[in-house]
């Protein structure tokens, strides 16, 4: 879903490989996107490329998948390890390792109980750490510290 900067290259790859099990959707309204996410079996949160930006950021879609209790696979990098725990609330795979990503997808696809556990744990983590009240309190603390009003 979406038209990222690599969409043309991905379209060409799909055509070259004659893949027939991939559907592209250019854009969805937020409510429609949420419904699509909730119907996902596995979320590929990323980032999976190994480059400096990918190692230091967490993809927004990671939070979306997890909040919807979709079991999520992410790249094993410092940014993801800062918040998530491999095997507890996400599955982590080495970055730039398509074989490891494929194995992780296959293992989750064939293990409904594991998907349920991972999805529930991920949703719980997101509710606990990123609830609006929690984020607001953290922001207030940061502002107070910045203004030296502890």
Distances 74 to 44, 71, 99 between C-alpha atoms, Å: 6, 10, 14
> How does pLDDT run across 79-94, given as a tens digit for each residue?
999 999 999 999 999 9
For the sheet containing 91-93, what is the strand order?
Answer: 43-46, 72-75, 91-93
Query: Which pLDDT value is given to residue 148?
Result: 85
Is pLDDT at 149 greater than 80 in this prediction?
Answer: no
Is pLDDT at 69 greater than 90 in this prediction?
Answer: yes
Q: How confident is the model at residue 122 (pLDDT cuts 50, 70, 90)?
A: very high
Sign of the torsion formed by the C-alpha atoms of 142, 144, 147 and 150: negative
d(CA 64, CA 85): 17
Average pLDDT, the chain: 95
Strands (E) located in 15-95: 43-46, 72-75, 91-93
> How does pLDDT run across 1-37, given as a tens digit for each residue?
889 889 999 999 999 999 999 999 999 999 999 999 9
Give the pLDDT mean for 41-50: 96
Is pLDDT at 95 greater than 70 in this prediction?
Answer: yes
Which candidate, 33, 41, 101, 99, places its Cα nearest to that of 71? 41
> How does pLDDT run across 123-136, given as a tens digit for each residue?
999 999 999 999 99
Q: How confident is the model at residue 150 (pLDDT cuts 50, 70, 90)?
A: low
Locus of tokens 């999805």 = 119
Locus of tokens 């940014």 = 79
DSSP 44: E
d(CA 146, CA 43): 37
Locus of tokens 């609330």 = 89
In this prediction the pTM is: 0.88
d(CA 25, CA 3): 8
């Amino acid at each position: 879903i979406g038209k990222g900067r690599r969409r043309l290259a991905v379209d060409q790859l799909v055509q070259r490989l004659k893949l027939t099990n991939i559907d592209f959707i250019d854009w969805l309204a937020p409510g429609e996107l949420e419904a699509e996410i909730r119907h996902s079996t596995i979320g590929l949160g990323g980032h999976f490329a190994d480059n400096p930006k990918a190692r230091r950021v967490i993809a927004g879609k990671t939070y979306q998948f997890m909040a919807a209790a979709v079991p999520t696979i992410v790249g094993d990098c410092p940014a993801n390890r800062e918040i998530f725990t491999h095997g507890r609330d996400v599955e982590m795979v080495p970055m730039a390792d398509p074989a490891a990503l494929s194995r992780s997808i296959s293992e989750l696809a064939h293990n409904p109980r594991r998907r349920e556990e991972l999805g529930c744990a991920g949703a719980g983590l997101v509710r606990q750490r990123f609830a609006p009240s929690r984020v607001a309190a953290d922001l207030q603390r940061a502002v107070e510290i910045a203004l030296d009003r502890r």
